[in-house]
């Protein structure tokens, strides 16, 4: 039990990791034809869309932001599709199944960042940004240096997130479809390359929208069928679940996951502000026409996310009775033993129990589609950091033609695809928890502080931004490296150098402090100009006058 708790708390940032980790030791399953057929339908549909999108992807603006013509509702669905990974479906259902109320607490942590993004960031992001969030941090600062810094931390986040998704994908697919791990990795990597290189943001957006609709409808259907067994009564369900669960009445108490206050607060900070610093999420704000639509996107996205988390909570609780009391789903038929396919298969077993093989196949296809959508969004964010920030702005100093910039971003996508495949294969056996932890930690400590300061604090200078960004990046990476999850569990040292698993509470203040001190200490003429340039930036951020507009076709 103790081991389970420590494992779970290590995985706290990463529900995906929870999924992948438990799946890692499982056997390859028999080929699931229902799932494969439904997945093929999804691929055929998205390929059709990619073909259509390719004809509309001509300019850089089409490629990076779908021409800025996505509506708030579409973007809201796409953000929800980008944000909720397969892990949300599998990992969080499993967490509610084993830990009860703790799973619900995690879901609130994943959700609470969205209102904050809306109130403090959405409007300014749209008014100031064009293709990447570095457009905003570098708005009045030294383009070359600040963009390089932002691109490095973006790519760090994207790479760690990509590894986690790829490894998770390979293991899930092995389990759900009965395919070889390496085959699964190649399928994911190649499909992603096709979507992004040919269809750019238009195709990526539609893949994410379709996937979000599948995920929402599939989850709702399973929840509905499962709840019908309890007469749609939540108290009835709770009563029966607490009666049979081994935690008993403790099922509805906060458990050991967040016992330590420092971890609890650090986790809350990391998830809330990490979300606000993920490059592939931030990028979605530039795909809409104006600030009005950007606000609507968050309204819809947070509505879908909140709704789905509650569906998952119900699914997990229903699973306690429907899956947990049925010997059919346990190895050797012993109730309370090991679940067939590992602990994260609760959602899948539940689908089978209430809807047979068809529903199981559908949900498996949804899980695969989900991974593809998230990976495509990540690849596009990574490629834009390379082509738009590094190539077009730093190397070519803004003199690159649109055609070459698009070519560079397509090459970058293909390279990232191969990097993802290679890393996915290399890290197959590795605990991927720390990588997602690192991704959120770096996003919260390196991307978020500089981004929010550049929008809100007049006094930020190039020197401050660089020190803030790099110190946040390095300290977040070091804290994770020296924490128990890597220093002890991966590198095999005796004791952790850093006692906590969550870096945000410590790395974020370092980044803010360095940005503040170095900006204040910067008395150069350039710094003075940068501070003066804030005035115009401020008016643009508030009014949207001069903001990049949607291109007309």
Binding residues for another protein (CB under 8 A): 101, 104-105, 108-109, 111-112, 114-116, 118-120, 123, 234-235, 238-239, 242, 249-250, 252-254, 258-261, 264-265, 268, 272, 291-292, 295-296, 298-299, 302-303, 306, 309-310, 535-536, 538-540, 542-546
Min dist CB 41 to another protein, Å, is 33
If the CB atoms of residues 302 and 471 are measured against another protein, the closer one turns out to be 302
Report the nearest approach of another protein to the CB of residue 118 (Å): 5
Taking the complex as a whole, the smallest distance from the CB of residue 115 to another protein amounts, in Å, to 5
Q: What angle, rounded to 10 degrees, do the helices at 86-99 and 2-10 form?
A: 150
- What are the CA-CA distances from residue 97 to residues 146, 211, 312, 320 (Å)? 45, 24, 10, 6
Phi first, then psi, for residue 281 (nearest 5°) are -80, -45
| Cβ-Cβ contacts under 8 Å for 95 (sequence gap 6 or more) | 8, 15, 18, 102, 103, 106, 316
Instruction: Pick between residue 401 and residue 543 the one whose CB is nearest to another protein.
Output: 543
* CA dihedral for 217, 218, 220, 221, sign (positive or negative): positive
CB of 458 within 8 A of CB of 291?
A: no
Place of tokens 């996951």: 257
Which lies closer to another protein via its Cβ, residue 62 or residue 102?
A: 102
State the nearest-atom distance from the C-beta of 111 to another protein, in Å: 7
CB of 474: closest distance to another protein in angstroms? 27
Q: Which residues pair with 298 in a beta bridge?
A: none
Q: Is 148 left (phi over 0), alpha (psi -120 to 50) or beta?
A: alpha
Rounded to 5°, angle at Cα 358 from 356 and 361? 110
What is the rounded distance in angstroms from the CA atom of residue 127 to the CA atom of residue 455? 11
Minimum gap (Å) between residue 245 Cβ and another protein: 13
Nearer to another protein, 28 or 292 (CB): 292
How far is 183 from 369, CA to CA, in rounded Å?
A: 16
In terms of CB distance, is 524 or 542 closer to another protein?
A: 542
Q: Smallest distance from the beta carbon of 264 to another protein, in angstroms?
A: 4
How many other CB atoms are found less than 10 A from the CB of residue 185? 25
Strand partners, 70: 288
The smaller minimum CB distance to another protein, of residues 141 and 150, is found at 141
Nearer Cβ to another protein (324/544): 544
| Closer residue to another protein, CB minimum distance, 229 or 489 | 229
- Residue pair 431/24 in contact (Cβ under 8 Å)? The answer is no
Question: With respect to another protein, which residue has the nearer C-beta, 239 or 331?
Answer: 239
- Name which of 361 and 441 has its Cβ closer to another protein: 441
Name the minimum Å distance from CB 261 to another protein: 4
CA separation for the pair 40, 63 (Å, rounded)? 26
Q: Which is nearer to another protein, 478 or 533 (CB)?
A: 533
Q: How far apart are CA 195 and CA 190, in angstroms?
A: 9
Q: Which of 372, 381, 380 is nearest to 153 (CA)?
A: 381
DSSP-derived 3-state class of residue 71: coil
Nearer to another protein, 90 or 547 (CB): 547
Four-point Cα dihedral 118, 123, 128, 133, nearest 10 = 20
From CA 317, how far away is CA 229, in angstroms rounded?
12
Residue 303 Cβ vs another protein, minimum distance, rounded to whole Å: 6
Q: How many CA atoms lie within 13 A of 110 on its CB side?
A: 27
Alpha-carbon span 444 to 462, nearest angstrom: 20
Say if residue 201 is exposed, middle or buried (CB neighbours under 10 Å; 0-12, 13-18, 19+). Answer: buried
Minimum distance between the CB of residue 433 and another protein, rounded to whole angstroms? 21
Residue 66 is given by DSSP the state G
Q: How far is the CB of 503 from another protein (least distance, A)?
A: 17
Query: Least distance to another protein from the beta carbon of 458, Å?
Result: 13
Q: 288 pairs with which residues across the strands?
A: 70
Name the 3-class secondary structure at 186: helix
Q: What is d(CA 428, CA 174) in angstroms, rounded to the nearest whole number?
A: 12
């Amino acid at each position: 039990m103790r081991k389970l708790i420590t494992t779970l708390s290590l995985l706290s940032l990463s529900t995906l990791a929870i999924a992948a980790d438990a799946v890692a030791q499982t056997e390859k399953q028999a080929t699931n034809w229902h799932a494969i057929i439904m997945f093929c339908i999804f691929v055929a549909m998205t390929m059709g869309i990619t073909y259509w999108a390719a004809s509309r992807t001509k300019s850089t603006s089409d490629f990076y932001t779908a021409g800025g013509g996505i509506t708030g509702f579409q973007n809201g669905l796409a953000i929800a599709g980008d944000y909720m990974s397969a892990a949300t479906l599998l990992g969080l259902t499993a967490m509610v199944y084993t830990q009860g109320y703790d799973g619900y607490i995690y879901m609130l942590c994943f959700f609470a960042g969205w209102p904050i993004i809306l109130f403090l960031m959405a409007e300014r992001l749209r008014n100031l940004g064009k293709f990447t969030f570095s457009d905003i941090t570098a708005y009045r600062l030294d383009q070359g240096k600040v963009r390089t810094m932002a691109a490095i931390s973006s790519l760090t986040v994207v790479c760690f997130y990509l590894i986690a998704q790829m490894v998770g994908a390979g293991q899930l697919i092995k389990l759900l479809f009965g395919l070889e791990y390496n085959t699964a990795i190649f399928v994911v990597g190649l499909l992603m390359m096709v979507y992004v290189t040919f269809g750019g943001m238009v195709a990526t957006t539609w893949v994410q929208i379709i996937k979000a609709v599948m995920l929402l409808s599939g989850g709702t259907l399973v929840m509905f069928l499962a709840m019908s067994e309890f007469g749609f009564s939540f108290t009835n369900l709770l009563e029966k679940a607490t009666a049979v669960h081994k935690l008993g009445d403790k099922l509805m108490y906060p458990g050991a996951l967040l016992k330590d206050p420092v971890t609890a607060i650090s986790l809350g900070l990391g998830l809330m502000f990490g979300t606000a610093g993920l490059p592939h999420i931030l990028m979605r704000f530039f795909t809409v026409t104006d600030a009005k639509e950007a606000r609507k996107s968050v309204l819809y996205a947070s509505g879908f996310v909140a709704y789905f988390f509650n569906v998952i909570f119900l699914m997990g609780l229903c699973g306690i009775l429907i899956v947990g009391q049925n010997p059919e789903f346990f190895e050797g038929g012993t109730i309370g033993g090991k679940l067939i396919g590992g602990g994260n298969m609760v959602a899948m077993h539940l689908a089978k129990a209430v809807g047979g093989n068809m529903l199981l196949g559908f949900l498996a296809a949804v899980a695969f589609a989900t991974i593809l959508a998230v990976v495509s969004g990540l690849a596009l964010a990574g490629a834009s950091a390379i082509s738009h920030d590094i190539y077009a702005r730093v190397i070519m100093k803004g003199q690159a033609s649109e055609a070459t910039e698009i070519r560079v971003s397509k090459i970058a996508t293909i390279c990232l695809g191969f990097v993802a495949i290679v890393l996915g294969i290399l890290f197959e056996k590795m605990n991927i928890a720390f990588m997602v932890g690192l991704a959120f930690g770096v996003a919260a400590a390196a991307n978020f502080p500089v981004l929010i300061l550049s929008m809100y604090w007049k006094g930020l200078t190039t020197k401050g931004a660089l020190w803030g960004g790099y110190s946040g990046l390095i300290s977040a990476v070091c804290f994770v490296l020296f924490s128990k999850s890597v220093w002890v569990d991966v590198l095999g040292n005796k004791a952790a150098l850093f006692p906590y698993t969550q870096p945000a509470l410590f790395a974020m203040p370092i980044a803010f402090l360095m940005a503040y001190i170095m900006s204040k200490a910067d008395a150069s003429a350039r710094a003075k100009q940068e501070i003066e340039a804030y005035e115009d930036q401020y008016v643009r951020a508030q009014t949207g006058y001069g903001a990049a507009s949607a291109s007309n076709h």
